[in-house]
Amino acid sequence: MSVTTQVRTGGGGREAIARRLIKGSVKRSYAPVVDLDWEREPEPDRYFLPPSVLSLVGTDLWEQMDEAQRIELSRQEMANILSVGIWFENLLNRTLLARLMSADPASATTHYALTEMGDECRHMVMFGRAIEWAGARPFQMRRRERLAMAMLPQALRGSLLWVAALVGEEIFDALQREMLDDPQLQPLVARLMQVHVAEEARHIGFARDGIMRRKPVRRRWETFLAANGHAVAGVLFRNLFTNPAMYRRAGLDGRAAARAARTNPHFHDAQIRGFASLAAFLTEAGLMSRLSRYGWRRGGFL
């Protein structure tokens, strides 16, 4: 962000918030490589994600599975979600880094962006280690998805950047807050969620502040792009969260299981809970268009 833009959008206030978040990062940050007990083996009778958020809970397929199969499904769903988290945190880092090429290197906002990227790098390591620890394998993007991810850092600017950051962070954050105290959850996974929630709270606050500070000054075209650009996210996330490959790894018919999950009202309820806070914020910020509502509703998040 240029100095002129900082002044026009209340850069002083933004700088103060960035300095406060940097202080918060100093007081409460984690090193997952040492802060999580990677030597502790997974407990055979505990889930890697709570049953309440698994995509097949409540379906006929779920009723036909025994406890060991359900736990295996939770292992594969966790590996899938953490893989998606790695992709989006990678995208956010590359987008922020591209912006810093023209930013003031002495500003607090630049310093906090670098601090946030450091957090995200540690999160990617933590997610990768957790997949390995669970005895699972990461999921890979398809070629067209990799191409889109390569192009997006140049397209995400202004309010659209912060909307994309929130879409990639808040849904996961809301569900993690719901899950981390579940007694059926693997202790290491619960600790991972505690670390992630604590650090993502700062990132979400920074992104939300960025959106609200631009609200009085953003031009019509920026509002149009930011309000409509996330319309595809609902269907995208639905497809990512019901990846047929994870069902196949759990010993199920991948396509049949994905179809069951996508029409599962229990899974839709979990999606809606995860998106509720972000949906309310985007509406308040004037960035939830009719098209976006349609997209999120079609994906099962509204």
Asked if residue 38 belongs to a domain, the reply is: no
In a domain, 166, yes or no: yes
- Is 194 a domain residue? yes
User: SS3 for 273-289, per residue?
Assistant: HHHHHHHHHHHHCCCCC
Please report whether residue 233 resides in a domain.
Answer: yes
Query: For residue 154, what pLDDT is reported?
Result: 80
pTM of the model: 0.90
H or E stretch covering 300 = none
**Below-70 pLDDT ranges, the chain:** 1-12
**What is the C-alpha end-to-end distance of the chain, expressed in Å?**
34
pLDDT tens column, 114-147: 999 999 999 999 999 999 999 999 999 888 888 8
Residue 32, in any domain of the structure: no
149 in a domain, yes or no? yes
CATH number at residue 247: 1.10.620.20
Inside any domain, residue 37: no
Give the whole-angstrom CA distance, residue 220 versus residue 281.
19
Is residue 121 situated within a structural domain? yes
pLDDT attached to residue 12: 57
pLDDT of res. 95: 92
Number of independent structural domains in the chain: 1
pLDDT at 4: 32
Domain span at 167: 3-26+46-298
CA distances (Å), origin 123, targets 14, 30, 87, 289: 25, 10, 11, 32
